[in-house]
Chain A
Amino acid sequence: MSQFLQQLINGLSIGSVYALMAVGYSLVYSIMNFSNFAHGGVIMLGAYFGYFYLTAAGLPFPVAFIGAALTTCLLAVIIERGAYKPLRERKAPFLYFIISAMGTSIFLENIVIATIGPTFRTYPEILSRTPIQIGSVSVGRLDLTMFIISAICLALLVFFIDHTKMGKAIQATAYNIKASALMGINTDLVIIVVFALGGFFAGIAGVLFGMKYTVYPQIGIITNKSFIAAVFGGLGSLPGAVIGSILLGIIETITSGYFSSQYRDLIAFVLLIAVLIFRPRGLMGKVTEDKA
């Protein structure tokens, strides 16, 4: 039983990292209908910004943390302006957006390898590594902090989308971008806001990831999993991205804990494919006809 609880906690903690990353994919998808693969690169840079603000600039942690998130926020907007807006103006097919996104992702990874270097770096120890013991179950302080920060950020995001004018504009644009433009919504601004939000979350996810594990140019490998989690939960749906991520984290840990760690990815992803076969729009995705 205690192993089960421990595995559940492990799963929640892994899932909450996926969730922070998945939200960015979902936000952009809901408006632009394409998967922004550059998001992984922005997360990776967020981890690096946080690291350098802390070590080279010597900033206190909260400042470095917010600073990194603001920097990636700006970066995401720049990427939108540079890599996607020109395509949007030419009404390019969606495939081109995906190619452009992949190109940006490879570009970001390689610019880090070329300038900062390929080796990984370690964040200074900000929180003690000694875990909190509850009975025979141990909960890492960092995991708990991450879980709380993720929860607060996601709650704020949901509030923003549901209760502000801009949030309503985002919803309307997600429903139908052309009609929204005709109704007088500045869809170009909406797109900027969506990328800014995605970038902000990427920064937070990057710093938390870097603190917990390490910082290296290939963080993108992990973000692929969070993308899959977003698809599983239903691309374009925020609660879907969060639930999909948490479920993926738990499925992974339970598979390694009770079946076989050798076959973890095999079992976990066969399960995901099975869900998608029966429910192609993911757990909470919108019906595709809505978006046509």
Chain B
Amino acid sequence: MYKKSLALLLVSLMILTLALSGCSKPATQTGTEGGAAADVIKVGWMGSLTGDQAVWGQCELDTVKMLFEEINAKGGVLGGKKLEVIGYDTKGDPQEAVNVAKRLTGQDKVVAIIGPNASGSAIPIAPVLEEAKVPDIATVATNPKVTVLDGKVKPFNFRVCFIDPYQGAVAAGYAYDVLKFTKAAILYDVADDYSQGLTEFFEEFFKAKGGTIVAKEAFKFGDVDFRPQLSKIKEAGPEVLFLPVFFKEAALIANQARELGITVPLMGGDGLPSEQLFTMAKDAVQGTYIVNHVDYDDPEVQDLKTRYRNKYGKELELNGYLAHDAVVLLVDAIERAGSADPVKITEALETADVQGVTGRIKIGKDTHNPEGKEAAIVKIEGDKYVFQQKYSAQLD
């Protein structure tokens, strides 16, 4: 008999974990509890709180929470209304992102959504937003299709970061014009929109400038061994290795490349910077160039960095800076709209022009992207990201 109860116990435990991890519990809910609904403006957040990108998702959510608490302490928005964030985990899964968007707009009735950080999750939520008429401000979703599809702007999708073509083009331009490299190799994730986007534009711009791509190799999400591809790249003899990937893969690739005797500098986009990169591959990533959204040493970002460190006892990840700017953009739009009506907020977002910590964010009406934002080129030296220069590439 006790065996039966043991089996039952195990089964119920399994169901419980599944329910806890897979279902509808909001990851967070802060702000004023129990206040009259009219005095609270609910803002949704979505992003990855599990998996490889959990470090970033958690940082975004923490940043939004911190900023809302600060704004509420200063008297809120629209003359006294409090901001409240409702955050859900997308698990980095596009389908889950759609579910989360439906829940936020349908059930929680949020006025706007911040996030997600991943393009793969930001792209499929557009129909949900359009149906509910609720705007979304993506943080680090850099794929062009997040806001523009087939030449038409998506009415409710906005973002505060620059786009992949721009990152790829900046990396290509900087490698060729400033670093004077003419032979580049690429190792990218064939199953990832972000990685493919950067690769496409890096290749196009690098070739247009007169450079050659000596090797273009791929891997698939979940891979941990890259030596077959790297051995081939080594034979091709590039002067720089472009890695349009995320930090975990970048760290593994860097270690394995050095093991195989590839000594050329590495280069990557905004997927690289993370404190984790150093724990995993500090020696191997020395001298790596990164196209980033923000210069970590910029005096303008120091205040935010300190506030975050004091509150959470951790370093602010890249996503936090962009989550901050998404909040700034949203609060400005709410104030200018003079109301918490999602459609009015959307209209206000279309004409937004604010100063964020990552630069000036002037939303283009036809693209819903921040126009003409400069990228910061940083180089890894020791355990620091050393600012090299601001660089903007011409896209035509």
Residues of chain A whose beta carbon lies under 8 Å from any beta carbon of chain B? 3, 6-7, 10-11, 13-14, 82-83, 85-86, 89, 103-104, 106-107, 110-111, 113-114, 117-120, 122, 129-131, 133, 138, 140, 212-214, 216, 218, 221-222, 252-254, 256-257, 260-262, 264-265
B10 touches A218 (CB 8 A): no
Chain A residues, Cβ within 8 Å of B52:
119-120, 216
**Cα distance A120–B274 in the bound complex, in angstroms:** 13
B contact residues, total (Cβ < 8 Å) = 44
Instruction: Using known A-B contacts A82-B6, A104-B14, A214-B280, determine if residue A256 contacts B190 with beta carbons closer than 8 Å.
Output: no
Asked if A129 and B18 make an inter-chain contact with CB atoms under 8 angstroms apart, the answer reads no
For the complex formed, measure the closest distance between the CB of A268 and the CB atoms of chain B, giving whole angstroms: 11
Cβ A107 vs Cβ B224 within 8 A: no
1/0 contact string of B8-30 vs chain A (CB within 8 Å): 00100110011011000000000
- Please tell me if the beta carbons of B228 and A10 are within 8 angstroms of each other in the complex: yes
Of all chain A residues, the one with the shortest Cβ separation from B220 is A265
Q: Is the CB of A86 within 8 A of B4?
A: yes
Closest beta carbon of chain B to A12's beta carbon, Å: 11
Specify which chain B residues have a CB less than 8 angstroms from the CB of A212 in the assembled complex. 224
In contact, A118 and B54 (Cβ under 8 angstroms): yes
Q: State A82–B3 Cα separation when bound (angstroms).
A: 8
How long is the Cα–Cα vector from A11 to B283 in the complex, in angstroms? 25
A3 engages B228 (CB within 8 Å): no
In Å, the complex CA distance between A10 and B260 comes to: 10
- Expressed in whole angstroms, the minimum distance between the Cβ of B15 and any Cβ of chain A is 9
On whether the beta carbons of A213 and B252 are closer than 8 Å, the reply is: yes
Interface residues of B (CB under 8 A from A): 3-4, 6-7, 10, 13-14, 17-18, 20-21, 49-52, 54-55, 190, 217-220, 222, 224-225, 227-229, 231-232, 234-235, 248, 252, 255, 258-261, 276, 279-280, 283-284
| Residues on A with beta carbons closer than 8 Å to the beta carbon of B222 | 218, 221-222
Beyond A13-B227, A262-B217, 5 additional pairs, beta carbon < 8 A = A14-B225, A86-B3, A110-B21, A131-B260, A256-B217
Q: Is the interface of B mostly helix, strand, loop or mixed?
A: helix
Between-chain CB contacts (< 8 Å), 27 pairs? A10-B231, A11-B228, A13-B225, A82-B6, A82-B10, A89-B3, A103-B14, A107-B13, A107-B14, A111-B17, A113-B50, A114-B17, A114-B20, A118-B54, A119-B54, A119-B276, A129-B259, A130-B259, A138-B259, A138-B260, A216-B52, A256-B228, A260-B218, A261-B190, A261-B219, A262-B217, A262-B218
Interfacial chain B residues near A122, Cβ < 8 Å: 276, 279-280
* B259-A257 in contact (CB<8A): no
The reply to whether A7 and B228 contact each other, CB–CB distance below 8 Å, is yes
